[in-house]
Amino acid sequence: MSLPKQNDAAGTSVSGGKTVDWAAVKPLAVSHEDAMDYGKVKNVWAEMMKLAGLRAPDEKLQAAFRLAVYKYAHANGTSRVGQYEGEMTLSDGTKVPAAVIPRATGAFAIRKFFRGNMTESYVALKESGVVESDERSVAKAAKFGVSAACAFATADWMSDCPMFTPAEVSAHEKAFTYAVERAKRARGGRPLESVEAGHLRAGLEAQGQLDASGGELVDF
């Protein structure tokens, strides 16, 4: 199979004696594998609201819930081995368990879900000032030289965010480098897969599916 020969015309090439105008046949959209697509994101939000007991179609309530979810994820990360044992208190005082997040997304699609909300989460966290007003988040960002105004940009799902300013890009990169080094130290050099296996084993033991020796228990 011969490769197309490049033509002088911009955006065209010659293949099999025919000129192809590639610019005229650009795909309308192509999914990025590291981000959940809009249809799935919409369904996950609906499921998360349902699990939280927030079925009212009130737009303000939905916005309050989404911002609380973004803030929780910013503060605690979106790792698939996260605990999600905390709680979120919405602007109206409603308390929601953070466990609704992995239950709705699925344990291995948490970060993909947040990356599918890249634009909205960027705007929500930046315009609300919710991270900037959190003393603990600001202090954490200061450890790696990030200002309070850019602390929101350290969210672990915002890699390659197209809305970042140069200062926000720098803030995210500093946070990423810090997180990678911290994770290596925390795992003692073990790969993430080994840590996940440990979490899975602990869960099975707690559910009574493994005996003390590690053998699988069969429930007759």
pTM of the model: 0.75
Question: Is 30 among the domain residues?
Answer: no
Instruction: Please identify every stretch of the chain with a pLDDT value under 50, giving residue numbers as ranges.
Output: 1, 7-8, 192, 195-196, 199-200, 202-220
Structure-token pair, residue 165: 């300013």
Cα 21 to chain centroid, rounded: 37
Predicted confidence at residue 86, as pLDDT, reads 95
155, 141 contact by CB (below 8 A): no
Question: Is 207 among the domain residues?
Answer: no
Predicted confidence at residue 18, as pLDDT, reads 83
Question: Is 167 among the domain residues?
Answer: yes
Sole residue written with tokens 């309308």:
28
Question: Is 27 among the domain residues?
Answer: no
Domain that holds residue 167: 38-187
Question: Is 25 among the domain residues?
Answer: no
* Domains of the chain: total: 1
Question: Is 44 among the domain residues?
Answer: yes
Identify residue 30 by its one-letter amino acid code.
V
Question: Is 202 among the domain residues?
Answer: no
Question: Is 220 among the domain residues?
Answer: no
Structure-token pair, residue 174: 């500093």
